[in-house]
């Protein structure tokens, strides 16, 4: 694995999407900005965290919405690697455990880690939380860093072990009471929780745009329009009641 090359690729994707090379990024917002990309949220069970499918006509990233928000962010970054750098046609499935699987999947994990936590930015954050250069990182430090980059505890620990900032044994002790460790320090637990069950199914991006365009051009009937949206788990766009009730202008 050429880590320097993977870091260069992460920087390149950041630049393509209008981001600088060090700041934390909103990976979901960036995904929505990618032309002709459809994004699907679906609870895939315990073994898979995401999937990328692409050919000359279609680009789809599916995210396991039953996993925590932090893990979903990492999964999206992982799938960016397949989207930007793998050849077509492609169907790539991302495993639950980071750093596992075939070499290409390990490279995608490393890319995702660099995309979300650029080396220079991570080094600076470590410098800020450490009072002394050789000081051992505490759970408080880990929470501070993962909150800054908005990544899961698994992604954070994996990277810090890889960087030699934590031993594997020490990292093991930090895998328990993850949400509680953040809440006790005054943070919200959103990063460590999955989407609410009623929000775990949904399709966004290019698919919705295409269905809407087909309706506007008169290529499909209203019944077919609603059918396509319902198949994409977008009852909200068909019935609209929940959106209208929850809307606030301020």
Residue 47 CB-half CA count within 13 A = 2
Q: Among 155, 150, 166, 162, which Cα is nearest to 23's? A: 150
Q: What percent of the chain has pLDDT over 70?
A: 95
The band of 57, judged by pLDDT with boundaries at 50, 70 and 90, is confident
The CA angle 191-94-204, to the nearest 5 degrees, is 65
Mean pLDDT of all residues in 150-176: 94
The band of 93, judged by pLDDT with boundaries at 50, 70 and 90, is confident
Cβ-in-10-Å burial (0-12, 13-18, 19+) of 78 comes to buried
Q: What are phi and psi of 52, to 5 degrees?
A: -125, 130
Sequence-ordered strand ranges (E) for 160-244:
202-205
pLDDT value for 122 = 96
Residue 144 CB-half CA count within 13 A = 13
In this structure, how many other beta carbons lie within 10 angstroms of the beta carbon of residue 162?
A: 14
The band of 213, judged by pLDDT with boundaries at 50, 70 and 90, is very high
The answer on pLDDT for 70 being more than 70 is yes
In this structure, how many other beta carbons lie within 10 angstroms of the beta carbon of residue 212?
A: 14
Alpha carbon distances (Å) from 19 to 10, 33, 104, 112, 118: 11, 12, 25, 15, 12
Sequence-ordered strand ranges (E) for 132-212:
202-205
Return d(Cα 30, Cα 126) in angstroms, integer.
26
Tokens of 145: 């860093």
Residue 158 CB-half CA count within 13 A = 19
pLDDT value for 10 = 97
CB burial string 9-29: b at 16+ within 10 A, e below:
bbbebbeebebeeeebbebee
Return d(Cα 162, Cα 150) in angstroms, integer.
19
Sequence-ordered strand ranges (E) for the chain:
37-42, 48-54, 59-64, 90-95, 202-205
In contact, 50 and 75? CB cutoff 8 Å: yes
């Amino acid at each position: 694995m050429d880590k320097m090359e993977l870091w260069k690729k992460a920087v390149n994707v950041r630049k393509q999407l209008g981001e600088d090379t060090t700041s934390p990024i909103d990976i979901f917002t960036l995904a929505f900005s990618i032309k002709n990309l459809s994004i699907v949220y679906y609870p895939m069970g315990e073994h898979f965290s995401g999937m990328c499918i692409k050919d000359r006509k279609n680009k789809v990233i599916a995210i396991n919405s039953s996993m925590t928000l932090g893990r979903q962010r990492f999964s999206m970054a992982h799938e960016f690697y397949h989207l930007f750098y793998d050849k077509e046609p492609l169907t790539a499935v991302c495993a639950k455990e980071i750093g596992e699987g075939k070499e290409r999947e390990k490279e995608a994990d490393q890319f995702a880690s660099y995309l979300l936590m650029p080396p220079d930015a991570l080094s600076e954050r470590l410098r800020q939380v450490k009072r002394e250069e050789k000081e051992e990182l505490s759970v408080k430090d880990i929470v501070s860093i993962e909150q800054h980059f908005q990544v899961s505890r698994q992604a954070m620990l994996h990277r810090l072990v890889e960087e030699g900032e934590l031993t594997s044994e020490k990292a093991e002790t930090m895998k328990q009471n993850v949400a509680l460790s953040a809440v006790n320090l005054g943070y919200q637990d959103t990063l460590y929780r999955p989407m609410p069950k009623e929000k775990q199914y949904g399709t966004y991006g290019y698919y919705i745009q295409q269905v809407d365009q087909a309706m506007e051009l008169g290529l499909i009937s209203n019944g077919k329009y609603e059918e396509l949206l319902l198949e994409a788990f977008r009852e909200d766009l068909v019935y609209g009641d929940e959106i209208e009730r929850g809307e606030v202008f301020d």
